[in-house]
Amino acid sequence: MITEQAKIDHFYDMLVKKESNYEGIFYVGVKTTGILCRPTCPAKKPNKENCEFFETAQEALLASYRPCKRCRPLSSTSKLSNEVKLLVQAIEANPERKWSDKDFDKLAISATQPDANSKNNSA
Ligand SMILES: [Zn+2]
């Protein structure tokens, strides 16, 4: 999560302006709704104190945010790795679950080596 106040101020400014150049530079999590948005989301902008900014969508997912259904912060960027795509699908299938780094690891394993998944030792 981005904690530098100067960055937060700047990113919030870009968020309010729906600055498309900042697509992929940051993501915003709205604390009051638990939703993750891209800078250009058409939804009403939250107050700054309700925003958390992230440099990657993965970080935001780990902080329990869910992708916004309007701006689809994870769906329409081509930069997304297969692991993240799988994670998004898994999150959408299990919306109540808390996701962790271990889940990312497992998904990464199953994304790259589907056959090794059954022998996966979950320590
Ligand atoms: Zn949104």
**Confidence category of residue 89, pLDDT binned at 50, 70, 90:** confident
Count structural domains, the chain. 1
- Is 81 part of any domain? yes
Residue 94 belongs to what domain range?
A: 5-113
pLDDT tens for residues 24-74?
A: 899 999 999 999 999 999 999 999 999 999 998 889 988 999 999 899 888
Q: Is residue 122 part of a domain?
A: no
Per the domain annotation, does 118 fall within a domain? no
What's the gap in Å between 111 CA and the centre of ligand 1?
27
Q: Judge whether 37 counts as a catalytic residue.
A: yes
For position 115, what pLDDT does the model report? 52
Ligand 1 midpoint to CA 70 (Å): 5
How much is the pLDDT for 100? 77
Q: Which string of DSSP letters, residue by residue, matches 70-93?
A: TT-TTTS-TT--HHHHHHHHHHHH
Which CATH number belongs to the domain containing residue 77 in this structure? 3.40.10.10
**36 in a structural domain:** yes
- 0.75 exceeded by the pTM? no
Q: Could you tell me if residue 91 is inside a domain?
A: yes
Cα dist from 8 to 64, 82, 100, 110, whole Å: 20, 29, 25, 35
Ligand 1 geometric centre to CA of 20 (Å): 13
Please report the pLDDT score of residue 77 as a whole number. 52
Residue 87 lies in a domain: yes
Contact assessment for residue 42 and residue 71, using Cβ atoms and an 8 Å cutoff: yes
